[in-house]
């Protein structure tokens, strides 16, 4: 069933591309946004549509372009690494692949981060991490996952996403959730025994049958819920005590997004396997499972290989990304801009009645939109994305129906953050006036 293309007044060329997209590409390939911005130029934290209108990018693609678009240093390094390399190196070895693995391990700088297993997207990385853990514990069939996570749509990654699974081997642990970032307690309270109790209950129910626990540093798709370190540490400790493989999904949080290069460092964790994606290649389709050699070495020749994983361009992008992070204070900038984004969000919340809570860290924030003036929260959120577009801000479609994602490239400047929030203010003001 094809749908009606989105039409936005005065977007003549963009409307034509929106229409052709619907004609040629199944809609399942796209995630719905009420705007479907058409881009034909991108630089830093800015995007331009074919009509020449400029937008501040509050999405980074989908938290991928951490270095921004067309970062000159990244592009120069990348071009120098790929020149003369084969397009594909399946059944060939390249120096760039070992360079990428070595550089990544050095950058991860943790005793358990010994080997790198490449993939081409986050979900495939998750699947390879699960395969590896199942090889490590071939006699244990239970997979634990924390609830409401997003690990991808494909196969085993889809099985451990959400809160229900058709996979009979998946069991769930609650993820700790606070509605406002300012309410996240630095220390656990007496009521927080439930975490250990849930884990122990599962251990009793499935003695020596639990192979792994998969979790992530924060819930993105569920609406941006960012837990305290002690929650994640408790999961990690329990896995260590019980020889259960602890897999941390850093597909989204990696490469600076949370204000530290890796979220596992920020939270003081020692995962056995970490899955990296999105920002690892600043847009090239590459991802990786990194971690313990005794786990990652168990699969035999070919068992985790595929056509594109670890291809030379992906590996070149990994190295060029690390070069750029090492040369410029990008993570520091993310950390600094985080405080400014938080302040701006809290100011907006004070100003507009239909704005709810804000949650986030680094440059990954969620802003709740409430029902207002007879319109549902989801309608208000869609209207917000549309009005943001009209005022020069590009947002991805709302998370969980009514949460706006604010996730600009980590290189965004102070001036751009302020300018972006001024534009958002105007967008919300326009909504207020419409509903008055």
Ligand X SMILES: Cc1ncc(COP(=O)(O)O)c(C=O)c1O
Residue with tokens 């919340």, as numbered in its chain: 349
Is 249 one of the binding residues for ligand X (CB under 6 A)? yes
Is 34 one of the binding residues for ligand X (CB under 6 A)? no
Is 345 one of the binding residues for ligand X (CB under 6 A)? no
Residue with tokens 């056995």, as numbered in its chain: 272
Residue with tokens 């980074």, as numbered in its chain: 60
Tell me which residue of 113, 122, 163, 168 sits closest to 143, measured CA to CA: 168
216/284 with CB nearer ligand X: 216
Which residue in the set 34, 68, 256, 277 belongs to the binding site for ligand X (CB under 6 A)? Answer: 277
169/407 with CB nearer ligand X: 407
Report the nearest approach of ligand X to the CB of residue 305 (Å).
18
150/389 with CB nearer ligand X: 150
Is 122 one of the binding residues for ligand X (CB under 6 A)? yes
Which residue in the set 97, 216, 272, 284 belongs to the binding site for ligand X (CB under 6 A)? Answer: 216
Report the nearest approach of ligand X to the CB of residue 427 (Å).
25
Is 362 one of the binding residues for ligand X (CB under 6 A)? no
Q: Which residues pair with 47 in a beta bridge?
A: 42, 55
Residue of minimal CB distance from ligand X?
122
Scan residues 151-180 and list those touching ligand X (CB under 6 A). 151-152
Report the nearest approach of ligand X to the CB of residue 148 (Å).
12
Answer yes or no: are the C-beta atoms of 108 and 273 closer than 8 Å. no
| Per rule CB under 6 A, count of chain residues that contact ligand X | 13
Tell me which residue of 81, 69, 45, 36 sits closest to 283, measured CA to CA: 69
Is 121 one of the binding residues for ligand X (CB under 6 A)? yes
Stretch in the footprint of ligand X (CB under 6 A) among 73-81, 116-124, 176-184, 257-265 = 116-124
148/352 with CB nearer ligand X: 148
CA pair distance 133, 339, nearest whole angstrom: 38
Report the nearest approach of ligand X to the CB of residue 155 (Å).
11
Report the nearest approach of ligand X to the CB of residue 251 (Å).
3
124/355 with CB nearer ligand X: 124
Is 314 one of the binding residues for ligand X (CB under 6 A)? no
Tell me which residue of 282, 215, 283 sits closest to 250, measured CA to CA: 215
CA pair distance 386, 89, nearest whole angstrom: 43
Angle of helix 414-435 versus helix 377-390 axis, rounded to 10? 120
Stretch in the footprint of ligand X (CB under 6 A) among 52-60, 120-128, 325-333, 420-428 = 120-128
Stretch in the footprint of ligand X (CB under 6 A) among 145-153, 192-200, 258-266, 351-359 = 145-153
Report the nearest approach of ligand X to the CB of residue 120 (Å).
8
Instruction: Tell me the chain's radius of gyration from C-alpha atoms.
Output: 22
CA pair distance 164, 148, nearest whole angstrom: 9
- Beta strands in 92-224, from DSSP E residues, in sequence order: 115-119, 142-146, 170-173, 210-215
Report the nearest approach of ligand X to the CB of residue 23 (Å).
25
Is 361 one of the binding residues for ligand X (CB under 6 A)? no
Report the nearest approach of ligand X to the CB of residue 224 (Å).
11
Is 220 one of the binding residues for ligand X (CB under 6 A)? yes
245/431 with CB nearer ligand X: 245
Which residue in the set 251, 319, 369, 393 belongs to the binding site for ligand X (CB under 6 A)? Answer: 251
Structure token pair of residue 173: 């642990």
- What is the side-by-side order of every strand in the sheet holding 142-146? 115-119, 287-291, 273-276, 245-250, 210-215, 142-146, 170-173
Tell me which residue of 288, 146, 135, 265 sits closest to 214, measured CA to CA: 146
Structure token pair of residue 277: 């994606």
Tell me which residue of 82, 125, 401, 397 sits closest to 285, measured CA to CA: 125
Q: What is the number of other CB atoms lying within 10 angstroms of the CB of residue 173? A: 20
Q: What is the number of other CB atoms lying within 10 angstroms of the CB of residue 60? A: 29
Stretch in the footprint of ligand X (CB under 6 A) among 15-23, 48-56, 199-207, 248-256 = 248-256
244/254 with CB nearer ligand X: 254
Instruction: Burial-class residue 109 by CB neighbours within 10 Å (0-12, 13-18, 19+).
Output: exposed
Tell me which residue of 175, 176, 179 sits closest to 163, measured CA to CA: 175
CA pair distance 76, 327, nearest whole angstrom: 13
Report the nearest approach of ligand X to the CB of residue 153 (Å).
7
Stretch in the footprint of ligand X (CB under 6 A) among 83-91, 107-115, 245-253, 343-351 = 245-253
- Point out which residues bind ligand X (CB under 6 A): 121-123, 126, 150-152, 216, 220, 249, 251-252, 277
């Amino acid at each position: 069933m094809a749908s009606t293309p989105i039409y936005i007044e005065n977007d003549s060329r963009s409307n034509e591309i929106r229409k052709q997209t619907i004609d040629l590409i199944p809609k399942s390939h796209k995630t719905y946004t009420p705007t479907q911005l058409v881009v034909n130029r991108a630089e830093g934290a800015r995007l331009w549509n074919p009509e020449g209108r400029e937008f501040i990018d509050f999405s980074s693609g989908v938290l991928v372009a951490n270095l921004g678009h067309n970062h000159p240093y990244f592009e120069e390094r990348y071009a120098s690494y790929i020149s003369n390399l084969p397009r594909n190196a399946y059944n060939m070895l390249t120096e760039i692949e070992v360079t990428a693995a070595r550089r990544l391990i050095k950058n991860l700088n943790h005793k358990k981060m010994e080997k790198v297993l490449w993939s081409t997207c986050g979900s495939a990385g998750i699947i390879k991490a699960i395969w590896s853990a199942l090889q490590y514990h071939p006699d244990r069939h239970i997979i634990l996952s924390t609830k409401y996570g997003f690990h991808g749509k494909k196969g085993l990654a889809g099985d451990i996403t959400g809160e229900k699974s058709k996979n009979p081997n998946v069991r769930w642990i609650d993820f700790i959730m606070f509605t406002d970032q300012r309410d996240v307690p630095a220390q656990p309270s007496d009521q927080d025994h439930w975490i250990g109790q849930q884990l122990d209950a599962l251990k009793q129910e499935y003695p020596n049958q639990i192979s792994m626990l998969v979790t992530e540093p924060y819930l993105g798709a569920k609406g941006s819920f960012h837990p305290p370190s002690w929650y994640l540490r408790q999961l990690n400790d329990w896995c260590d005590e019980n020889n259960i493989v602890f897999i941390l999904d850093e597909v989204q949080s990696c490469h600076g997004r949370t204000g530290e290069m890796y979220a596992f460092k920020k939270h003081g964790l020692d995962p056995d396997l970490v899955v990296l994606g999105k920002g690892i290649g600043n847009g090239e389709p590459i991802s990786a499972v990194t971690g313990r050699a005794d786990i990652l070495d168990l699969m035999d020749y070919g068992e985790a290989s595929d056509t594109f994983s670890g291809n030379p361009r992906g590996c070149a992008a990994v190295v060029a990304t690390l070069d750029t992070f090492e040369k410029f204070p990008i993570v520091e900038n993310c950390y600094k801009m985080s405080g400014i984004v938080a302040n701006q969000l809290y100011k907006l919340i004070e100003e507009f009645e239909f704005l709810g809570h804000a949650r986030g860290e680094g440059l990954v924030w969620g802003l709740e939109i409430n029902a207002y003036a007879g319109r549902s929260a989801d309608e208000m959120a869609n209207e917000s994305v549309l009005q943001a577009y009209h005022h020069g801000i590009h947002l991805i479609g709302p998370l969980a129906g009514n949460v706006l994602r604010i996730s600009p490239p980590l290189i965004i400047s102070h001036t751009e953050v302020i300018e972006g929030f001024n534009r958002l203010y105007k967008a919300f003001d326009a909504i207020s006036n419409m509903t008055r």
